[in-house]
């Protein structure tokens, strides 16, 4: 059986084959839709959905994996590193429940926060085909106009308006400046919309000038999707969103230049037109929002400069090193969910510091390893973006590397979902074809992408 991976373009996929998602791919699509839509249910749905929604996404993936395990369906062998990571998390939590006086519910929160993203990657690697990449990308990009419209309406509306709800009887309490609220889109918190932009904006920019999408999709991306995403950045009230947009725009041009694009000037125009269009729209429709954003930026710089913020994100974890214990205080013990479940410890906002406090020596080793992992990921993403002619892979890899360095992977459920989706999008284009299960799975090797 040939193990050569499929690297066909979307035109070939659409024109020559009819891709029908299997059970695993349906599960991945539903996971993404739940990540995008659970905030809508929390904010504008009936009361009492908070607790079920907290476990809905990951619970759905666990059920799908269990069903697939019982079926004789085509699959790949899971990498040993992924299997070891899953086993270590489960083992550590079991040991901590014995050694540390923490409730079982805290351990459940810890397992969810660390195993949730790993299970999504497990599902995609083992059972999904490369075409799923474009299906997930379409879902994400189709949400752009809705996110832009809701975010703009939120920033223009009073705090007590229905659009600014964050729960059945709660309203947003975070403001850009004055009475201009921080937009959150369909998510329940402002960082949710930033997490969405961290995935959708690299995808949209990577598809500008790409020959792997249909002309219709390319046109919609340029005139609807990309301007909507940039508009969302402008009205989000987030410094991170603006830095993200600038970094992705520069990186996209660097990729085009490195690839020897002879139409680099045309690429610049393709990127400049949506940017100008988004700025003109927000200037005419919401000038007060831009003013509030500027004031917030200045106030934030005075209270904590960007350089100090970056320094804290990278090195604040060193304050927790002297107090590190062998097994830690328990995965989930320092998270908001764990505290709600009965953890006796306080919340730690800094994610690397939380890993050290919760995971002990193993958490410290993981924090140290993230620097090398982030650098390796950048090199890897550049290599495959160039080889597969998919610039979005490098942009996604760049964002994931920044999140590795800054500790923005699994502090909140929204971040956990964003991490899982980003890693899945990075892996899917590289996967080879599925094969019938072998009676001797231990003797089979993973399909590898051959060098050009």
Rounded Cα distance, 308 and 311, in Å: 5
Helix (H) or strand (E) holding 251: helix 239-258
Q: Could you give the count of Cα atoms lying within 13 Å of 337 in the half-sphere of its Cβ? A: 25
Burial 321-345 (b: 16+ CB within 10 A, else e): eeebeebbbbbbbbbebbbebebeb
Q: Phi and psi dihedrals of 277, rounded to 5?
A: -60, -45
Per-position DSSP letters for 22-52, written without gaps between them: -HHHHHHHHHHHHHHHHHHHHHHS-TT-HHH
Closest to 201 (Cα-Cα) out of 264, 275, 261: 275
DSSP state of 224: I
Q: What is the pLDDT of residue 283?
A: 86
Q: What is the pLDDT of residues 383-440, one digit of tens each?
A: 998 888 889 999 999 999 999 998 899 988 999 999 999 999 999 998 876 755 544 4
Of 169 and 451, which is predicted with more confidence? 169
Under a CB-based contact definition with an 8 Å cutoff, are residues 103 and 339 in contact?
Answer: no
Q: Are strands 175-177 and 170-171 parallel, antiparallel or unpaired?
A: unpaired
Q: For residue 346, name the pLDDT band (cuts at 50, 70, 90).
A: very high
Q: What is the pLDDT of residues 392-403, one digit of tens each?
A: 999 999 999 999
Q: What is the pLDDT of residues 33-92, one digit of tens each?
A: 999 999 999 999 888 888 888 889 999 999 999 999 998 888 888 899 999 999 999 999
Q: Phi and psi dihedrals of 178, rounded to 5?
A: 60, -125
Q: Is residue 115 over pLDDT 50?
A: yes
Please tell me whether residue 165 adopts helix, strand or coil conformation. Answer: strand
Rounded Cα distance, 251 and 207, in Å: 13
Task: Say which residue the tokens 């919760």 belong to.
Answer: 358
Q: What is the pLDDT of residue 441?
A: 40
Q: What angle do CA 215, 269, 306 make, to 5 degrees?
A: 115
Cα–Cα distances (Å) from 301 to 183, 239, 297, 309, in that order, read: 20, 10, 6, 9
Please tell me whether residue 183 adopts helix, strand or coil conformation. Answer: coil
- Of the given ranges (97-101, 138-142, 316-320, 358-362), which has the lowest mean pLDDT? 97-101
**Helix, strand, coil shares, percent, the chain, to 5:** 70, 5, 25
Q: Residues 235-239: what's their mean pLDDT?
A: 87
Q: Is residue 318 over pLDDT 50?
A: yes
Q: Is residue 443 over pLDDT 50?
A: no
Q: The whole model's pTM is what?
A: 0.89
Q: Who's near 339: CB < 8 A, 6+ residues apart?
A: 345, 346, 347
Q: What is the pLDDT of residue 436?
A: 52
Distance of CA 339 to the CA centre of its chain: 24
Looking at the chain, the whole-number percentage of residues with pLDDT higher than 90 is 55
β strands within 168-271, DSSP E: 170-171, 175-177, 180-181
Of 314 and 86, which is predicted with more confidence? 86
Residue 47 exposed, middle or buried by CB count within 10 Å (0-12, 13-18, 19+): exposed
Q: Residues 144-159: what's their mean pLDDT?
A: 94
Closest to 325 (Cα-Cα) out of 55, 143, 92, 75: 92
Q: Phi and psi dihedrals of 164, rounded to 5?
A: -100, 20
Burial 72-109 (b: 16+ CB within 10 A, else e): ebebbbbeeeeeebbeebeebbeebbeebebbeebbbb
Q: What is the pLDDT of residue 265?
A: 67
Q: Which two tokens stand for residue 358?
A: 């919760």
Q: For residue 262, name the pLDDT band (cuts at 50, 70, 90).
A: low
Closest to 55 (Cα-Cα) out of 132, 121, 129, 115: 115
Q: For residue 15, name the pLDDT band (cuts at 50, 70, 90).
A: very low
Please report, for the chain, how many H helices and E strands are present, in that order: 18, 4
Q: For the chain, how big is the Rg over CA atoms in Å?
A: 22
- Of the given ranges (127-136, 220-229, 349-358, 443-452), which has the lowest mean pLDDT? 443-452
Q: For residue 449, name the pLDDT band (cuts at 50, 70, 90).
A: very low
- Of the given ranges (201-210, 282-291, 340-349), which has the lowest mean pLDDT? 282-291
β strands within 298-357, DSSP E: none
The sign of the dihedral angle between the CA atoms of 306, 309, 313, 318 is: positive
Of 36 and 446, which is predicted with more confidence? 36
What is the pLDDT of the chain when averaged over all its residues? Answer: 86
Please tell me whether residue 176 adopts helix, strand or coil conformation. Answer: strand
β strands within 317-388, DSSP E: none
């Amino acid at each position: 059986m040939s193990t050569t991976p499929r690297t066909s373009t979307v035109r070939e996929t659409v024109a020559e084959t009819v891709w029908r998602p299997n059970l695993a791919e349906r599960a991945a699509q539903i996971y993404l839709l739940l990540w995008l839509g659970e905030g809508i249910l929390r904010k504008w749905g009936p009361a009492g959905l908070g607790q079920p929604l907290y476990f809905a996404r990951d619970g759905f993936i666990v059920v799908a994996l269990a069903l697939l395990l019982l079926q004789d369906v085509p699959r790949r062998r899971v990498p040993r590193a992924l299997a070891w990571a899953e086993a270590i998390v489960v083992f550590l939590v079991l040991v901590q429940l014995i050694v540390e006086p923490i409730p079982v519910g805290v351990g459940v929160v810890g397992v969810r926060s660390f195993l949730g993203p790993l299970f999504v990657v497990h599902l995609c690697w083992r059972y999904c085909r490369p075409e799923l990449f474009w299906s997930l990308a379409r879902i994400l990009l189709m949400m752009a106009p809705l996110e832009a419209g809701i975010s703009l309406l939120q920033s223009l509306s009073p705090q007590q308006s229905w659009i600014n709800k964050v729960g059945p009887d709660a309203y947003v309490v975070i403001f850009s400046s004055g009475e201009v609220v921080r937009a959150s889109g369909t998510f329940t918190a402002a960082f949710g919309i930033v997490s969405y932009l961290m995935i959708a904006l690299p995808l949209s920019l990577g598809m500008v000038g790409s020959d792997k999408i249909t002309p219709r999709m390319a046109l919609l991306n340029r005139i609807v999707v990309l301007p909507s995403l940039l508009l969302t950045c402008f009205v989000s009230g987030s410094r991170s969103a603006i830095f993200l947009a600038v970094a992705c725009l520069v990186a996209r041009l660097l990729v085009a230049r490195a690839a020897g694009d002879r139409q680099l000037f045309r690429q610049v125009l393709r990127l400049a037109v949506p940017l100008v269009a988004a700025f003109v729209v927000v200037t005419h429709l919401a000038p007060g929002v831009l003013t509030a954003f500027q004031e917030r930026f200045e106030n934030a710089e005075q209270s904590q400069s960007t350089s100090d913020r970056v320094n804290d994100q990278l090195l604040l974890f060193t304050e927790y090193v002297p107090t590190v214990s062998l097994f830690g205080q328990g995965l989930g013990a320092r998270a908001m969910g764990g505290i709600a479940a009965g953890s006796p410890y306080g919340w730690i906002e800094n994610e690397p510091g939380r890993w050290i406090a919760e995971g002990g020596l193993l958490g410290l080793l993981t924090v140290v390893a993230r620097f090398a992992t982030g650098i390796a990921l950048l090199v890897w993403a550049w290599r495959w973006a160039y080889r597969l002619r998919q610039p979005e892979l490098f942009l996604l890899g760049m964002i994931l590397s920044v999140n590795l360095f800054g500790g923005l992977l699994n502090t909140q459920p929204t971040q956990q979902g964003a991490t899982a989706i980003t890693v899945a999008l990075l892996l899917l284009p590289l996967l080879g074809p599925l094969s019938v299960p072998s009676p001797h799975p231990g003797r089979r090797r993973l399909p590898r992408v051959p060098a050009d």
